[in-house]
Every structure is written in structure tokens, then in C-alpha cells.
Amino acid sequence: MAEQTASTGGDVTEDGQPALKRVMGPKLLLLFIIGDILGTGIYALTGQVAEEVGGAAWLPFLVAFAVAMVTAFSYLELVTKYPQAAGAALYTHKAFGIHFLTFMVTFIVMSSGITSASTASRAFASNLNEGFGLDLGNGGIVLIALGFMLLVAAVNFRGVGESVKLNVVLTIVELSGLLLVILIGIYAIAGGNADFSRVVAFDAPEDKGVFLAVTTATSLAFFAMVGFEDSVNMAEECREPRKIFPKIMITGLSITGVIYVLVAICSVALVPVGPLAASETPLVEVVRAGAPGIPADVVLPFISMFAVANSALINMLMASRLLYGMANQAVLPKALGRVHPFRRTPWVAIIFTTLVSFGLITYVSLGGSDVVSVLGGTTSLLLLAVFTVVNVAVLVLRKDRVDADHFRAPPGLPVVGALACAYLVLPFSGRDAEQYQVAGILVVLGVLLWVLTVFLNRRLGVKKATLDPAKLE
């Protein structure tokens, strides 16, 4: 997640290590942000969002975009004020100085990577099943999802340094699938082969009013908007981060928000809500309905597989490196920080995060729940909790003056962001109870690991450990 803290002007860090190379300008940063946001959420959750609100499935994506944009303003103030890697962990550490809170924020961010990758694995398996015309059933799809996570672990173990140039290619491929859906949707609507009246039809479940239905759907749709916060970890590798970050992050979020709203509109206009919600590959159903004579529905599952595979790999790389970084600072058992002598990768952390993903996929699948909905919702739940802390941290850190001009969020906006994110975390937002169960298991796991580490450190005579976000890797 984070690298060694670089000086802003020299070639080495304060501790004598080489500074990160500043290779990213505005265009590459924009593609990084768009590519990080695009992925599993919109490809897999459009149907579940529509199930909550009916044809107005675009509205939760719009609300999720608004909440993300408000929080992005807080991130922009902090990243231009402290242009270093480490993101939420750094801001929490600077604002509150409570090492356990910094640890829990870091562990929750790591956990969100695992739940996101687990969601992607199920989406990958479903698209593979659809793309090859198989009929594997739930058990077969679960096995493929687990096998896919093994493959991700193998690639992770071998060592993958994804370059910015490769990210450009991945972003273009991910974007092509969504543009295909939009173009086919516009073509079908223009030809009179769509029911545009569904787009403005609210159809909330009987036990929910419109407001609760929208907030429930927004808690799912928000999963599609996460990723913009990762860009702050590239601050030390950007040229003039204080200058380019505000414009580029707002532009990137806006582009993805427009794409998501258009995809949602095209989806419900072409496919009734029932079939859309019942499908694990909803956008394939949209393409099939909008262009029945064109084999676009054969191509889209493979584009979807590529998009979600990329999301899974990036998230598991992040999770394993964060775990390694925490273990390396003795705030988690040191064994989790072991590095393979030949591959030079954190093999124990990779095994641990993979086993956690196995447990999550199996636990949710055996419960008969929708894996994508539960784990995708859990990802947004975890990150919304972190975003609440970040929005509060902005207000706390305004008393900390720095000798440089930086972006400042409009007055009151961090308060709105904190309240909105906190509301979407709480149970009365309509969130599925199983998401809290999964999130609770992960939080308890983090606390237990913290307690175990304190016990082991005392037995081994290790001095009291403190988590320094600037040294996470």
C-alpha cells in the first residue's frame, strides 16, 4: 500500500533510502484512478441494486457517486497537505495519535481488499460459467472461485510489479466492456427496442419505503465507487501532486460516475428488473437483449472476467503487503512478515490472506446467500467506516499548519461526508445483517491478532510496538 516516505524535493528519503521515482503526470494519474474504480462492482451488482429500487437503479449509483465525491474532497485536502503514501492510516495516525486506532484502520483497509477480491472471484467464476456455456451450479462456481483465488495467490507469490503503463492497458479493456453496454443500450433505445418507462419506475420491497430502499441500494452501489482512495498512495510517485491531484481525482470520479449511471439506465431499459436481479452476469443479459443478432454477449463475459481478475489481483497484492508491513513492525505476529528467500515475496502473508478469502467465500456460499452481494456490501461497509474516520480527521488536522499551499475542502463538506458515510455504515440504512456478521468476524480477527502479538512480544522480550504508517509496504 505504502512505500518509504520520500522527501518532496531530493533523491533520498530522511532515512537515506532512495526516493520513489516521480513518473506519473496528469494523464497517467487519471487513467490510474479510473482503472482503480472500474471493475467488479458495476459488472456484478447492477442486478442487485435494481432489485432494491426497481427501474430507478441509476439513482443509488448517483447517490454513491455524490458520497464518494464529498469524501474525495477530504482526501484531496489531506493528500495535498501531506503528499506521502499510506493514505487513511497516515491521516488517522496524524489526527489522533492512537496506535490501536491506526492499526484497526489499517487492518480494516486490508480486510476490505480481501472481501473485494473474494467478491471478484465469485464474479469471475460466474462469467467463466456463462462465457463457456457451462452449467456448473452453485457448488461448481464456488470451486472455480476458490481455484481462481489459488491462481491469484500463485501469481502474487511469484511476484507481480504492475507498472503504470500496464494499468493503462487494463483500464482500456475494462472500460471497453462498459462502453459496449452503453452503445448497445443507446442503439436499442433509439430503435424503439427498449422500455424507457422502467427507468423512472420505483419498485421498493414491501417492507421498505423509497428512502430506505435507496439507502440500502446505495450501500451496495458504493462498492462500485471505491478505489479512488487508493490513488493517494501514489502521491510520492506523482509529479507536482499538490497541483494535479484535485483536478484529476474530481475528473476521474466524474467520468466513472457518468459511466455507471448510463450503464444502469441502459440495463433497466433493456432488461426487466426480475431477470436482471436473478442473473449473476447482469450486463451479459443487457447485451444479449439489446443486440440479439450480434455475438457481443459472447465477448462480454471474457471482458468481465479480465476486469474482475485484475481487481482481485490488485486487492490481494495490497492486502498481503499491508499484512507484511504490519508484521514487519511487530504489531502483528512476526511470522506473518516472513519473505521467501528466492521469490522475495511475503509468502506467509499471501497464504494467510488467501485462507481468509477461502473462509469468506465458503462461509457465505454455505449460508445460501448471494456471495457477490454480501461480500461486495461488506467491502463498502468496511471502507465507509474508514471514510468516516478520514472525514473527521480532516477537521481535526485543520489546526495543523504546513508551509505549503494545499487544497482545502469547502466549509462543512467534511461534516456532511462524515455523517453520510456513518449513516451508510449503521444498521438503519437497510444494510443486510450478514454484511455486519462478516465485517464483525474480520474485526474480531484483527483484535485477536493484536492481543496475540502483545502476548508474544512480551514473551519474546520485544519492545512495545508502534505502527508507523510511513513504513508500511
Would you kindly state where each structural domain of the chain is located, as residue ranges?
A: 26-467
Nearest-10 Cα torsion for 190, 38, 312, 288: 0
C-alpha cell at 206: 414491501
Q: Provide CB contacts within 8 A for 184, sequence distance 6+.
A: 266, 270, 286, 287, 290, 291, 294, 296
pLDDT along the chain (473 residues), means of 10: 40 50 76 81 88 92 96 93 81 91 93 93 91 86 95 81 58 86 92 88 80 92 87 72 88 95 94 90 90 80 84 85 86 88 87 96 86 92 96 94 88 95 93 94 95 88 76 69
Distance CA 57, CA 53 (A): 6
Instruction: Kindly give, in sequence order, each residue whose CB lies less than 8 Å from that of residue 390, ignoring residues fewer than 6 positions away.
Output: 71, 74, 75, 78, 88, 91, 92, 229
Of 364, 385, 384, 353, the residue nearest 435 (C-alpha): 364
pLDDT at 71: 96
Looking at domain 26-467, its CATH superfamily turns out to be Amino acid/polyamine transporter I (1.20.1740.10)
Q: Smallest Cα–Cα separation from 471: which of 12, 13, 149?
A: 13
Q: Among candidates 378, 383, 375, 372, which has minimal Cα distance to 45? A: 372
Q: What is the pTM of this model?
A: 0.88
Nearest to 248 by CA among 420, 439, 463, 35: 35
Which pLDDT score, from 0 to 100, does residue 167 have?
59
Q: Which amino acid is at 150?
A: L
**Confidence (pLDDT) at 227:** 83
CB burial string 268-290: b at 16+ within 10 A, e below:
bbbbebeebbebbbbbbbbbbbb
CB 256 within 8 A of CB 225: yes
pLDDT the model gives residue 460: 81
Instruction: Determine the Cα–Cα distance for residues 355 and 347; give it in Å rounded to an integer.
Output: 12
CA distance 134 to 341: 41
